[in-house]
Structure 1
């Protein structure tokens, strides 16, 4: 005979809500231990077997969360995923990871996949070539909440968490000025990224506030590849306009810059000082690391985004778009 025991059966017998039963069966620690034990004991006694199809058809929680990141080769995003998995596991959630590889089409495929899976919510850090947001709006209208982190949309209201990138860039410029440096170049990320815009704003604020030298020839946007950084350094050398220091989009660009300088016979942090963004663990192992890097606290960023998403998932009423800023601080690397 077919087993007709459902979540409703258990809920009626224990006189609790179906949502409480569902959360208890998934091991969600937001439900008290005694309630979880009672639910699981009764489910075992009644030989309850979950039906995934019913979850989708009835629009109930799947306890699945999707996350879209540009690339897992970036340690910044790996640190975020680590802390999210540790936080979600006791709550009974599974985290599904999708890399956009900095490609908007891959990002759209990820959204379609998560929609088909009926995930409870999505966390997203935008691909560098993102130009359209219609798919995100479509997924939201379907009933799946989205929270953006680090790389967030421009020009649309959204639930977003990001670092104080502009403030971090300004701190770098102040640090360099205090070292007596006046001519600073910026090797920035793709112009359409909001994080690139924030770095540029902080850089320009520093130029104006501290009366530093700048010109369009000192501000470069690159494709986040070693080849694009090498071309920029070649431009500096051919124009005979080497800056005193270079502020890079992130630690990886700083690493590409060091390699490019060596290829062209220049010595990093001697012919040009290097300041970077991210303070990722690998730079502390470099023989000649950037003189300063901006700590973004990826764990705090990820947890704040997750907290915002879980509130949206648990809320029975629509919430107004919300933005949260995580502060940054400078980490100075002493010279040997």
Structure 2
């Protein structure tokens, strides 16, 4: 049994021709006669020769591999986005490598380094909730590795990104609650490091002030998106001098933590909830949010993947303009509430 794969050099030695002639013959180059081409192919087949794809890709300057770094694969939003990314990239014969930061900045930095060492052709990233420095991404430009951010994006324009219109979504959510008669509306927001947290706050403030209500900053609490962080925020609202009658939760997971805790205290009936992401499970639970913002994760993943392919295949001089793509959101009303 042959222990090592057959090489072009071995085929060339047997046929007493040059390795370059073997290579050209295997690729039907017209400079190699038909009889010689057939001999080369027959011998290669009998020796179970297979091309060295790594060497071929190295010569082309590509690995046809894309890296994806996201906070949690278990979250429905990100698993849906990944389905879109795979669907788009597999059409172009790219292999996709997924990694989870688990919302850790340090882990994210390590993963970026590993992706670089894997010689990925490009990177798709949704940043961790702790990420406030971005030099680990900036370093990739010197290796000609483009990066496209999606959903959770850095707080500046000179990057390529796809994101949902969170500010507009928040305006819709708060206006919806105001139309239902609520006048004291609270928000459990995310960490201040997340650009989306600032967008939620801006949208909340715009809706409140546009409707000529007084903005009360104490009705917005930033939390770390954990269950305990949600409980701490809930307790502040329950004991607030202006106890709210409605709460906007950072996402459906925070809303689920909140529902669980408010039901435990038997005060769930005192609040109307609105959240973000529109997870399918939301419509099946008791006391679910009365509305949730649809952020279209599949569309975000699809657009991000196609932008990255454009960046990989475009001449370097054309990569100076930044793709800043916004996906419009929709407020989905839970009619069964």
TM-score range, shorter chain: 0.7 to 0.9
Q: Is the 8 A contact 2:8 2:23 kept in 1?
A: no
Query: TM-score, normalised to structure 2's length?
Result: 0.85
Q: How does 1:38-187 map to 2 (within 5 A)?
A: 47-53=49-55, 55-56=57-58, 58=59, 60-155=61-156, 157-187=158-188
- CA change 1:2–1:74 in 2 (3 A) is closer
TM-score (norm 1): 0.85
What is the match of residue 9 of structure 1?
Answer: 24
**Equivalence map 1:161-310=2 (5 Å):** 161-267=162-268, 270-310=269-309
Give how far 1:86 is off.
2.2
Q: In structure 1, how many angstroms separate the alpha carbons of the residues matched to 2:287 and 2:265?
A: 17
Alpha-carbon RMSD across the aligned residues, in angstroms, is: 2.4
Q: Is the 8 A contact 2:293 2:331 kept in 1?
A: yes
Shift, 1:73, TM fit: 2.2
Q: Which runs of 5+ in 1 are unaligned?
A: 16-40
| Corresponding residue for residue 18 of structure 1 | none
How many Å separate the matches in 1 of 2:174 and 2:210? 9
SS at match of 1:287: coil
Structure 2: 5+ residue stretches without partners:
1-5, 10-18, 31-40
1:281 CA drift (Å): 0.8
Greater CA drift, 155-164 or 142-151 = 155-164
Q: Structure 2 vs 1, CA of residues 55 and 236 (structure 1 numbering), >3 Å: closer, same or farther?
A: same
Contact 2:105–2:128 at 8 Å: present in 1 too?
yes
Shift of 1:82: 1.3
Asked whether the equivalents of residues 242 and 272 of structure 1 are also in contact (C-alpha less than 8 Å), the reply is no
Q: Kindly indicate whether the alpha-carbon contact (under 8 Å) linking 1:183 and 1:212 is maintained by their aligned counterparts in 2.
A: no
Q: Distance in 1 between matches of 2:242 and 2:236?
A: 9
- Cα drift, residue 265 of structure 1: 2.6
Does the 8 A contact of 1:182 with 1:213 survive in 2?
A: no
Deviations 1:147-170 (A, max 9, x none): 000111123610111000101000
Q: C-alpha deviations, 1:104-130, integer Å up to 9, x for none?
A: 111111111110010111000011111
C-alpha distance 8-80 of structure 1, shift in aligned 2 (>3 A)? farther
Cα displacement (A) at 1:140: 1.8
Max Rg structure: 2
Question: Is contact 1:3-1:48 (8 Å) kept?
Answer: no
Q: 1:92 to 1:265 in 2, by over 3 A?
A: same
DSSP-derived class of the 2:266 partner: coil
